[in-house]
Amino acid sequence: MALLPLVIAPDERLKTPSQPIDTIDDSIRALAADMFDTMYHERGIGLAAVQVGVLKRMLVADVTWRDDGTPGTQYVMINPQIVSKDANLRRYKEGCLSFPDQFADVTRPDAVRVRYLDLDGKQQEETFDDLLGTCIQHEIDHLDGIVFVDHVSTLKRDMILRKLKKQKKLGYFEPHVHGPDCNHGHDDHDHDHAHEHEHVHGEHCNH
């Protein structure tokens, strides 16, 4: 199990389109496993490779994992493409592991049909709706250098980005040793990683 440091906005990489993957080898399979570990640890439901600094067209998603950390239905999509979109729209308050503690309402098609390669290199095509549909559209956006705040008003986007910029400057998202003074809810406090939450600084933080 490996936890990967997250790319936190604002960051140029999050605006950069990712490159298609030509060969699905062990390094890609290992990356997918590490992305799931990181996603569950950070309590997310989807993660694009660019969010761990790898500019390749790959995403992982699982919207049915349980609170105790038991995985649900896992999706790994390589070079995903939306082939059709439902006319019905769905509005959802989205967040993103690259935008810690920031949320905004985003309206997207309720359902999308997606063509992608799985980890065995087999082509799959499936329709996704509801929360999973929203999640997959959000992650495919990442592969094109688009983030959820690009779908909201400039005012709201600027507010969120300003806040994150300030928190970044204060070192909120630096790797640190977890301790009793952190107010984010991880239950394993024995390792360093780039955490995603705002927290109360104290003697147990190493910044």
Q: Which residues are catalytic?
A: 139
Query: H or E stretch including 11?
Result: none
Q: How far is the CB of 46 from Ni ion (least distance, A)?
A: 7
Q: How far is the CB of 105 from Ni ion (least distance, A)?
A: 15
Residue whose structure tokens are 């977890």: 178
Q: Which is nearer to Ni ion, 3 or 8 (CB)?
A: 8
DSSP result, 132-176: HHHHHHHHHHHHTT--GGGGS-HHHHHHHHHHHHHHHHTTTTS-E
- Binding segment for Ni ion (CB under 5 A), chosen from 91-99, 111-119, 155-163, 190-198, is 91-99
Q: Answer for the pair 44, 142: CB distance below 8 angstroms, yes or no.
A: no
Residue 112 makes contact with Ni ion by CB under 5 A: no
Q: Which is nearer to Ni ion, 44 or 199 (CB)?
A: 44
- Binding segment for Ni ion (CB under 5 A), chosen from 30-38, 92-100, 128-136, 166-174, is 92-100
**Pairwise CA distance, residues 70 & 89, whole Å:** 31
Cis previous bond, 80, omega within 30: no
Single out the residue of 96, 111, 164, 205 in contact with Ni ion (rule: CB under 5 A).
96
Q: How far is the CB of 92 from Ni ion (least distance, A)?
A: 13
Binding site for Ni ion (CB under 5 A): 96
